[in-house]
Structure 1
Amino acid sequence: MKRLVLSLLVAVAVAERPSLSYDATASRPSSPVQQIPIIRDERVHPAADGTYSFDVETGDGIARHESSGPGGVQQGTVSFTFPDGQVFNLQFVADVNGCQPQSPFLPVVPAFPHPVPAHALEQIERGRLELEARAREEQRQSSSQGQTAPARHYGQP
């Protein structure tokens, strides 16, 4: 009886085990797939110094150009047309300062909504003056003792 129950449990476990291979039939789209031709595909693979370039354009108006010069500076452009007819253009430079994209389609950070209130500016100035006074006092104490004391930082005793 135990063997029968064990056999049934093994059979159920094997039947519910997920398949390790993918053998589903490929789904067919309801409409034919439009093949977009590649009009231009020019590539210069990375040289020993890391420079490269590529220039790709497709039949539906997508274009991308990118290149890298000595020192790892990369620059390029991307353009395509939206379904409503607007042309999207993006230029970028990527260097030690990070990626700097430029496009009228990129969001712009809004200006700060209002000037900093006077009471906040007063508190900032008060804190700066207190830190300067503390630093002068520490300098005076260390010079009167004839040795240099380590500088204290804000928030430390």
Structure 2
Amino acid sequence: MKFVIALCLFALAFAAPQEDAQIVRDERVDNGDGSFSYNFAADNGIETEVVGTPGSEGQSNVQGYYLLPLENGGFARVEFVADEAGFQPRSDILPTPHPLPEHVHELLRIAERQRAEGITFE
């Protein structure tokens, strides 16, 4: 787990504009029971905050955010959860799927009704 955290911080630092940055916040807490948190910020705008807890399958469940530098000089905020369901990022900069056509919604309603009626197909 510490390797994953270090890798994430390295990726953030590598993606940042290449200039000297001073660390303005670096707080880390390891509670010894599998739960942890860290909070990091640099004066160039890069920052991240993460909280982790033990998961039901032996993994760490992690949630938090990081700021990703953009070409225009601004930053995009990416919030995420990583748990039994995998890594789930949320951000305005991430692509979203096209909406499903209405006929697909109708087919899903028909399939749901058939399942409720006990109809199965082999």
TM-score grouping bracket, smaller chain normalisation:
0.5 to 0.7
Structure with the larger strand share: 2
In structure 1, give the amino acid aligned to 2:32.
A
CA apart distance, 1:80: 3.9
The alignment yields a C-alpha RMSD, in angstroms, of 3.0
> Which of structure 1's runs of 4+ aligned residues deviate more than 4 A?
none
Counterpart position of 2:40: 56
Q: How far, CA to CA, are the matches of 1:100 and 1:77 in structure 2?
A: 11
User: Structure 1 or 2: larger helix share?
Assistant: 1
* Count of residue pairs brought into register by the alignment: 92
Flag structure 2 segments of 5+ consecutive residues without an equivalent: 1-17
Q: Which shifted more, 91-100 or 49-58?
A: 91-100
Q: Which residue of 1 aligns with 2:15?
A: none
Residue identity (%) = 33
Which is greater in Rg? 1
Task: After TM superposition, list the pairs within 5 Å mapping 1:49-88 onto structure 2.
Answer: 49-71=33-55, 72-88=60-76
Q: TM-score, normalised by structure 1?
A: 0.47
* Residues 68 and 78, structure 2, Cα contact 8 Å, conserved in 1: no
Shift of 1:81: 4.1
Of 75, 84, 95, 1:96 maps to 84
Counterpart selection for 2:27 from 42, 47, 54:
42
